[in-house]
Amino acid sequence: MPTTPFDSTLERREADLLGMWAFLATEVVFFGPLFFGYVHGRLVQPQAFVEGSHHMHIVLGTLNTAILMTSSLTMALGVRAAQKGARVRIWLALTALFGLAFLGIKATEWVLELPDAASASGGEARFYFLYYAMTGLHAIHLTLGVALVAWLWLHAKRYSSAYHAPVEVMGLYWHFVDIVWVFLYPMFYLLERYNA
């Protein structure tokens, strides 16, 4: 008796991809209340949010954005390599390293911002609450992503042009985590920069 519910690895790949897309749909909605909280706060207390935003470390944030975008490139190249049956390890390693670099810089920022956040009150306190909650949740997702990419790296020998669904599924997840950051970056760092 077969032990898998699938008839072929092809069928299994399709199910894995659909499963990840469905999971990402859940993730989008999961972040939803935070985004609503942000929109509401910014509508009610716009000045406090601009004020909070000006205390962000724009250089570190921008550097981090560049790093994360690059990691998406290496992840995409990793998926491409897996599909062609080429070597994937180098790309996976680079992706994980970029992810770690992002997390390191992010942690530095959190520590640097802590005094400001602790002394903030009113709308600004709300801004910092959302900042820590949203970037924190994003970092949790990225940490998980780095761990999974490392796991793929360990088992890289299993993947060939015939079987590489896990790398593709991981790619979807990684890009999702990046896209979340693409929204977070302007929301927290770029508010009314032009008259700063």
Residue 25 as a binder of other proteins (CB under 8 A): the answer is: yes
Residue 46 as a binder of other proteins (CB under 8 A): the answer is: no
Q: How far is the CB of 133 from other proteins (least distance, A)?
A: 7
Residue 104 as a binder of other proteins (CB under 8 A): the answer is: no
DSSP letter string, 10-59: HHHHHHHHHHHHHHHHHHHHHHHHHHHHHHHHHHH-HHHHHHHHHTS-HH
Residue 179 as a binder of other proteins (CB under 8 A): the answer is: no
Residue 22 as a binder of other proteins (CB under 8 A): the answer is: yes
Q: How far is the CB of 118 from other proteins (least distance, A)?
A: 10
Residue range at the interface with other proteins (CB under 8 A); choices 31-39, 88-96, 147-155, 172-180: 31-39
Residue 116 as a binder of other proteins (CB under 8 A): the answer is: no
C-beta separation of 189 from 53 below 8 A: yes
Tokens of 118: 């602790």
Residue 140 as a binder of other proteins (CB under 8 A): the answer is: no
Residue 36 as a binder of other proteins (CB under 8 A): the answer is: yes
Residue 150 to residues 54, 97, 144, 156, Cα–Cα distance (Å): 36, 10, 10, 10
Q: How far apart are CA 155 and CA 109, in angstroms?
A: 34
Nearer to other proteins among residue 32 and residue 186 (C-beta): 32
Of the residues 97, 101, 103, 125, which one makes contact with other proteins according to CB under 8 A: 125
DSSP letter string, 122-166: HHHHHHHHHHHHHHHHHHHHHHHHHHHHHHHHHTGGG--SS--HH
Chain residues in the site for other proteins (CB under 8 A)? 1-2, 4-6, 11, 14-15, 18-19, 22-23, 25-27, 29-34, 36-37, 40-41, 44-45, 122-123, 125-126, 128-130, 133
